Amino acid sequence: MTAVSTTLAIVLTFSVLAALAAILLRDVLNAIIAFAAFSFGIAVAWVLLAAPDVALTEAAVGAGITTVLFLVTIAKTVRPSGERLLESVEWRSVAVVVLLVGSLLATVRSLPAVGAADSPVATSRVTEYYLQNAYPETGVENVVTAVLAAYRGFDTLGEATVVIAAGVAVLLVLRQEAYV
Amino acid sequence: MIDLLGTHYNYLVFVALVGIGLYGVTASSNLVKKIIGLNIFQVGIFLFFVTSGYVDGAAPPVVGHGSGPYASPLPHVLILTAIVVGVSLTAVALALIVRIYDAYGTLDEEAIREVQLND
């Protein structure tokens, strides 16, 4: 019997509340600040889930770069004046969300408990292979780095291609002298 | 349902984040807030992946110093890639939003539709 640690539960609850605030706050700047708080909470959750690499990336990219991109966007566009603090509820969307959440909740019971040592991912042959052989074969102590840069190096090349393509796309879309 | 709170809390948070994200994408009429919803949806799925690789009391997958158990490195690798791809997509979407604002003078979905009908 395993249980989620209290610290993790508190951090995750904070993140859910921040996400809720980001969606429900009417003013876009408020929403962006709530979103940054959400990213920060999730980055802490990654640390507690023994994923420091993901935490660093989330803090730098999720809470950092993404927030800056949002702020630049609302600086270049309009920030709708918020006469009300919160958005009004859109009932048709609520119906769709209830449908999705309901069907997902029906599957949660079938998942292994959080942190179970016999979960399919933890006992997978691939996981064991990487944990045992990554250091002898690549000389890299961090297995995540070893997989990212050595075993799945071509996939990382594909990732870099996506980033280049996105950069080119942004430059093309904003190819006005006012922006470049 | 209550017993799941103790053992499956991360997965319940995953469901909540996906729901909140979907609500943001479909209900907000402001385009920037739709992108925020998309990002929240995405992080919900990240939480599902990273949780699936976690083992109680596990160390981060940095081998060579102590002994296990270690968290599975595979979900971490996948999610690292997904975060970078996600921010690229956000950048392209926001660039398009800046251009839409240039062309229509508004970021409100309904107002853009009205402008299109009037043209």
**By the CB < 8 Å criterion, does A157 face chain B?**
no
Nearest to A65 by CA among B90, B75, B53, B66: B90
Identify which of A142, A120, A118 has the alpha carbon closest to the alpha carbon of residue A131. A142
Lowest mean pLDDT among A62-76, B12-26, B37-51: A62-76
Residue of A nearest to B95 (CA): A170
Residue A104 pLDDT = 93
> What is the least distance, in Å, from the CA of B22 to any CA of chain A?
6
C-alpha distances (whole Å) from A179 to each of A1, A172, A173, B90 are 57, 11, 10, 18
Scan residues 34-93 of B and list those with Cβ closer than 8 Å to A. 35-37, 39-40, 43, 46-47, 50-65, 68-77, 79-81, 83-85, 87-92
Span B40-45, average pLDDT:
94
Is the CB of B64 less than 8 angstroms away from the CB of A66?
no
Q: What is the ipTM of this complex?
A: 0.91
- Looking at chain A, the whole-number percentage of residues with pLDDT higher than 90 is 41
pLDDT of residue B6 exceeding 90, the answer is no
Please report where in the chains the tokens 């994200």 appear, as a residue: B21
User: A56-65, B42-51, B86-95: lowest mean pLDDT where?
Assistant: A56-65
In this complex, which of A16, A62, A94 lies closest to B17 when CB atoms are compared? A16
What does the pLDDT look like over A40-64, one tens digit per residue?
Answer: 999 999 999 988 899 999 999 888 8
Identify the CA nearest to A63 among candidates A105, A99, A95, A18. Answer: A18
Contacts of A85 (CB under 8 A, 6+ apart): A25, A26, A27
If you ran DSSP here, which 8-state letter would residue A178 be given?
A: T
Say what the pLDDT of residue A124 is.
86
How far B42 CA sits from the closest chain A CA (Å)?
A: 11
Q: Name the token pair of B31.
A: 């385009």
pLDDT at A2 over 70: no
Per-residue pLDDT tens for A24-38? 988 888 899 999 999
Average pLDDT score over residue span B21-32: 91
Average pLDDT on B99-109 reads 85
Q: What is the pLDDT of residue A135?
A: 84
pLDDT (average), residues A158-178: 87
pLDDT number for residue A82: 59
- Using a CB–CB cutoff of 8 Å, tell me whether A65 touches chain B: yes
- Would an 8 Å CB–CB cutoff place A137 in contact with chain B? no
d(CA A142, CA A150): 12
Pair A18, A37: CB distance under 8 Å: yes
Extract the tokens encoding B39: 């990002």
Does residue A139 or residue B20 have the better pLDDT? B20
Specify the long-range contacts of residues A127-130, CB closer than 8 Å, at least 24 apart.
A127/B53, A127/B72, A127/B73, A127/B74, A130/B61, A130/B73, A130/B74
Question: pLDDT band for position A76 (50/70/90)?
Answer: confident
Q: In this predicted structure, what is the pLDDT of residue A3?
A: 62
Alpha carbon separation from B8 to A5, A109, A124, B2 (Å, rounded): 11, 8, 20, 10
Mean pLDDT to the nearest integer, A68-95: 81
Contacts of B91 in chain A (CB under 8 A): 69, 166-167, 170
Q: Which pLDDT value is given to residue A77?
A: 79
Task: Transcribe A87-146 into DSSP letters.
Answer: PPP-HHHHHHHHHHHHHHHHHHTTSPPTB-TT-TTTT-HHHHHHHHHHHHHH--SBHHHH
How confident is the model at residue A1, as a pLDDT?
41
Q: Could you give the percent of chain B with pLDDT greater than 70?
A: 97
Cβ partners under 8 Å of residue B3, min gap 6 = none
- Quick check: B30 contacting A, CB < 8 Å? yes
* Model confidence pLDDT, tens digit, residues A89-143: 888 899 999 999 999 999 988 888 888 888 888 888 888 888 888 888 888 888 8
pLDDT of residue A81: 62
